[in-house]
Amino acid sequence: MMGAMSGLVAALQGRRVFAEFPAGLSADWIPACEVLLQEGVRAWALHHADLGLLEQALRLFGRRARIGVRGATTAAQVADAVAFGAHFVTSPVAAPELLAAAGGVPMALGALTPNEIHYALGLGAPAVQVLPADVVGIGSAVAMGAFFPDAEVVPVGRFVAIEADQGLDAGAPAIGLTPASLFPSGRVGDLDHLRLRCRPFGALR
């Protein structure tokens, strides 16, 4: 039986912005994590394809950052993320077997329209991520969440800091940054540019 789950906000433990890493991390991902921490971006999601790195990430950074797994689309992927100790799991889709596999670990299902949000919430999802929210715009994504005032609806997309700030100010419970927000090249090794991109997001804590 599926255990009671809390949503992303509880999993983030006060952090208002979480950043998604690109898939296929190279060896320089650890210095990138240090830059994220130094600049105040202290919640991250690794792609499920990099699940083998999660245990190391939790060991190195788990006391200073909240670290989840993103992009899971099957129950097996969710179960593996849970088994490796993910603080939270997100999916771009909505299916009941994903929630069942998460057990009591915070889980956010995916949606893009009000009907899809309604469906995901009807499955019992504790949180729904609207993605890619940059397609509809941060204002529209937050407005869709307002249709479900008792639910946790989190915009996730390619945003700059001013958009994230506007979304949080308009009532979004948190904001997710897709990899293109901080890693537009798809690589994590350009630390100077990463620092410049992170800095304004860190101020949104």
Residue 203's pLDDT is: 85
Residue 27's pLDDT is: 83
Q: Which helix (H) or strand (E) holds 96?
A: helix 96-102
**Considering the domain boundaries, does residue 3 fall inside one?**
no
Band of pLDDT at residue 5, cut at 50, 70 and 90 = low
pLDDT tens per residue across span 63-116: 999 999 999 999 999 999 999 999 999 999 999 999 999 999 999 999 999 999
Return d(Cα 33, Cα 160) in angstroms, integer: 19
Residue 1's pLDDT is: 36
Return d(Cα 66, Cα 26) in angstroms, integer: 21
**Considering the domain boundaries, does residue 204 fall inside one?**
no
Contacts 24+ apart (CB under 8 A), 162-169: 162/200, 163/134, 163/138, 164/17, 164/138, 164/201, 164/204, 165/204, 166/138, 166/139, 167/138, 167/139, 167/141, 167/142, 168/16, 168/204
- Residue with the bigger pLDDT between 146 and 189: it is 146
- Measured in degrees and rounded to the nearest 5, phi and psi for residue 5 equal -115, 145
**Considering the domain boundaries, does residue 1 fall inside one?**
no
Verdict on whether the full-model pTM lies above 0.85:
yes
Instruction: Examine the pLDDT at 2 and tell me if it is beyond 60.
Output: no
**Considering the domain boundaries, does residue 2 fall inside one?**
no
pLDDT tens per residue across span 28-49: 899 999 999 999 999 999 999 9
Residues above pLDDT 90, as percent of the chain: 90
Q: How many domains does the chain have?
A: 1
Q: Which residue has the tokens 């949180």?
A: 127
**Once rounded to an integer, what is the mean pLDDT over residues 135-145?**
95
Return d(Cα 172, Cα 189) in angstroms, integer: 31
- Domain CATH for 71: 3.20.20.70
What does pLDDT average to over the chain? 94
Q: Would you say 7 and 152 are in contact if contact means Cβ atoms under 8 Å apart?
A: yes
**Considering the domain boundaries, does residue 205 fall inside one?**
no
Enumerate residues 6+ apart whose C-beta is below 8 A from 12: 18, 43, 66, 88, 174
Residue 43's pLDDT is: 98
- Which residues constitute the domain of residue 84? 8-199
Return d(Cα 138, Cα 45) in angstroms, integer: 20
